[in-house]
């Protein structure tokens, strides 16, 4: 009991820091929804917005695009889930590895890749025009509803592939074998036996994809192409930064929060169901080789499609960064001029700002990692010493920042900064710290629990004090996970776009913000060069992440 009480001060200190950094800004957003532009308290603005046809048009489109994006993710991810759970084939590990790419990519980089690959003058259209001798691009999907759905499907289908594939792999095949013995056809067995058993995992992962698409910002902002394709998150940004109407922005934020909290409650309930074990326990599923020509062809086509779908936009960004046109409609030549212009003043105000953007992004990411790691360690230390029920409650409290979009958090910081003078760079660091805290906490807390339960009681029984036990025994065991989480935080902060955009002013120029401004100026070559630099930074960070996970940095 004495050992468990040592975790209470750590949790209290952590909450003292988290409350003003997260709960107060979100509370400020909710309260602002009940304030009029004149500064008085009234629910009139809220009811006026709720009764507006414009508001519900935006809400309907937000739900509609999230639904079709989720459907696209399921249709793409489900065949891959079957392959990795039932088939043995060359390239299986490659498919697993490549499917993690969207998880580590900044959204603005995904958007740029889609513009470069699927755009009217993109690589895909140019290839089709050369192949079929066409005069005009055959695919005109940019700045359309289909472009939004396609980008979201690319970004999220690995969630379906991995979640459903893991569940499918653990299922016993006794029921399917019994159905086959009774004469059922494979398709009927899938829909009547397999699919109902997969449904909890499928609905759980789909609800998570739906939530990500619902709160998507960068994809809608760039690929939406205007007010016609506006979601709640984009409208929050436009009301706050363009119209300077904080009350209206807060009303849209309140509507978004109601939706997201409902979705998350639904997801949490389903996620508990999806991990439940079936009677009989052990899986008897067997990995079968792809022996028939038809199955080998199907696997080959799916892998080619997945690799093209996942890698082509990113490769296009890198290739385009080394290209230039001799004139507006001239030939494309290979060059390093965009990299030269990025780090010199000869490329104009935007291109010449790349050195400052890289430096600011690196500084913000490093400071964010240095700030988030000790806070996550405090919470992990305290949570490890709590009872099961207490630790469950604490985990819910610490996971709440994942439930609130970074646009809403940024809006909360804008509102609170009115009363507290703060440097915009500091606000971005604090916002990034709150956004990434759940990730580093989830990485660190299992190691903290294991270290405390396995070794701390023996140290206490030998007379060691809690502080010495922690420093000499627990911290060395937690260190690797903490470093892994810190590297993960660094990579997330480098590519974070939403909160940085709403909090930035003329003095702030991070890599994602500068990429967005270059895209807005139609300087896609320069944006690709900067995007390649961002990919290198993220790749380096996740290389360290993989090394630390495997013990290379322990």
Domain assignments of the chain as residue spans, ordered by start: 1-32+335-554
Radius of gyration of the chain (CA): 25
Judge residue 375's burial from the number of C-beta atoms within 10 Å of its C-beta, 0-12 exposed, 13-18 middle, 19 or more buried.
buried
CATH number of 1-32+335-554: 1.10.3720.10
- pLDDT at 553 (0 to 100): 40
DSSP state letter for 229:
G
What dihedral angle (degrees, nearest 10) is formed by the CA atoms of 467, 468, 474, 476? 120
Q: Which of 113, 193, 107 is nearest to 156 (CA)?
A: 107
- CA-CA distance, 500 to 492, in Å (whole number)? 12
Q: Which residues contact 26 (CB under 8 A, 6 or more apart)?
A: 257, 404, 408, 409, 412
Judging by DSSP bridges, how do beta strands 332-334 and 323-325 pair with one another? antiparallel
Instruction: Provide the strand spans (E) within 404-456.
Output: none
Given a cut of 70, the residues of the chain with pLDDT beneath it are: 1-7, 37-39, 103-104, 225-226, 267-292, 327-330, 345-349, 388, 542, 544-554
- CA-CA distance, 194 to 173, in Å (whole number)? 9
- 87 three-class SS: strand
Is the distance from CB of 527 to CB of 357 less than 8 angstroms?
no
- pLDDT at 317 (0 to 100): 92
- pLDDT at 507 (0 to 100): 78
Rounded to 5 degrees, φ, ψ at 51 are: -90, 0
Rounded to 5 degrees, φ, ψ at 211 are: -65, -45
- CA-CA distance, 170 to 285, in Å (whole number)? 7
- CA-CA distance, 104 to 534, in Å (whole number)? 11
- pLDDT at 271 (0 to 100): 58
Farthest-apart Cα atoms in the chain, separation: 83
The total number of residues shown for the chain amounts to 554
| Stated pTM of the model | 0.83
- CA-CA distance, 546 to 554, in Å (whole number)? 12
- φ/ψ region of 10 (left if φ > 0, alpha if ψ in -120 to 50, else beta) reads alpha
- pLDDT at 110 (0 to 100): 85
> What is the per-residue pLDDT across 247-273, written as a single tens digit (0 to 9) for each?
889 989 999 988 888 877 776 666 555
**Helices and strands (H and E) in the chain: how many:** 27, 4
- pLDDT at 280 (0 to 100): 45
- 547 three-class SS: helix
- CA-CA distance, 238 to 554, in Å (whole number)? 45
- pLDDT at 290 (0 to 100): 58
SS (H, E, C) 483-508: HHHHHHHHHHHHHCCHHHHHHCCCCC
- pLDDT at 288 (0 to 100): 58
Is the distance from CB of 405 to CB of 233 less than 8 angstroms?
yes
- pLDDT at 347 (0 to 100): 53
The tally of CA atoms less than 13 A away on the side-chain side of residue 438 is 14
- pLDDT at 162 (0 to 100): 84
- CA-CA distance, 50 to 255, in Å (whole number)? 9
Give, in degrees to the nearest 5, the angle at Cα 225 between 535 and 507: 55
Distance spanning both ends of the chain, measured CA to CA: 32
Cα-based distances in Å from 341 to 322, 386, 526: 12, 55, 8
């Amino acid at each position: 009991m004495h050992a468990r009480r040592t975790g209470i001060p750590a949790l209290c200190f952590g909450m003292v820091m988290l409350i003003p950094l997260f709960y107060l800004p979100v509370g400020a957003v909710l309260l602002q929804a009940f304030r009029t532009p004149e500064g008085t308290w009234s629910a009139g603005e809220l009811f006026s917005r709720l009764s507006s046809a414009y508001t519900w048009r935006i809400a309907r489109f937000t739900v509609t695009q999230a639904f079709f994006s989720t459907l696209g993710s399921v249709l793409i991810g489900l065949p891959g889930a079957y392959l990795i759970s039932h088939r043995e084939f060359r390239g299986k590990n490659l498919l697993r590895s490549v499917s993690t790419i969207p998880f580590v990519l900044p959204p603005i980089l995904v958007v740029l890749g889609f513009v470069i690959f699927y755009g009217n003058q993109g690589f895909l259209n140019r290839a089709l025009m050369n192949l079929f001798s066409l005069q005009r691009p055959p695919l005109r999907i940019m700045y359309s509803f289909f472009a939004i759905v396609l980008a979201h499907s690319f970004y999220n289908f690995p969630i379906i592939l991995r979640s459903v594939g893991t569940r499918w792999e653990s299922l016993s095949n006794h029921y399917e074998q019994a159905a086959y013995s009774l004469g059922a056809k494979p398709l009927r067995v899938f829909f009547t036996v397999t699919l109902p058993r997969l449904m909890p995992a499928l609905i759980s992962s789909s609800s998570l994809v739906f939530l990500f698409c619902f709160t998507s910002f960068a994809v809608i902002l760039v690929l939406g192409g205007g007010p016609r394709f506006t979601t709640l998150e984009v409208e929050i940004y436009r009301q706050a930064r363009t119209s300077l109407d904080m009350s209206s922005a807060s009303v849209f934020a309140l509507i978004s929060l109601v939706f997201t909290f409902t979705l998350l409650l639904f997801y949490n309930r389903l996620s508990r169901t999806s991990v439940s074990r079936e009677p009989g326990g052990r899986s008897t599923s067997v990995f079968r080789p792809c022996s028939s020509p038809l199955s080998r062809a199907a696997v080959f086509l799916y892998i080619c499609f997945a690799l093209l779908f996942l890698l082509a936009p990113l490769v296009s960004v890198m290739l385009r960064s080394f290209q230039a046109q001799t004139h507006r409609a001239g030939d494309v030549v290979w060059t390093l001029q965009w990299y030269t212009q990025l780090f010199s003043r000869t490329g104009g105000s935007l291109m010449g700002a790349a050195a400052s953007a890289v430096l600011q992004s690196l500084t913000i990411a490093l400071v964010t990692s240095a700030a988030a790691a000790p806070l996550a360690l405090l919470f992990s230390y305290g949570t490890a010493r709590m009872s099961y029920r207490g630790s469950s409650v604490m985990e819910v409290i610490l996971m709440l920042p994942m439930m609130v979009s970074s646009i809403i958090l940024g809006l909360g910081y804008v509102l609170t900064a009115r009363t507290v003078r703060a440097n915009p760079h500091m606000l971005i660091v604090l916002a990034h710290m709150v956004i990434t805290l759940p990730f580093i906490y989830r990485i660190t807390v299992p190691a903290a629990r294991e270290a405390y339960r396995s070794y701390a009681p023996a140290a206490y029984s030998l007379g060691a004090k809690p502080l010495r036990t922690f420093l000499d025994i627990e911290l060395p065991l937690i260190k690797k996970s903490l470093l892994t989480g810190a590297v993960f935080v660094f990579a997330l902060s480098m590519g974070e776009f939403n909160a940085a955009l709403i909090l930035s002013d003329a003095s702030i120029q991070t890599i994602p913000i500068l990429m967005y401004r270059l895209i807005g100026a139609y300087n896609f070559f320069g944006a690709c060069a900067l995007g390649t630099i961002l990919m290198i930074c993220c790749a380096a960070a996740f290389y360290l992440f993989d090394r630390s996970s495997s013990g290379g940095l322990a």
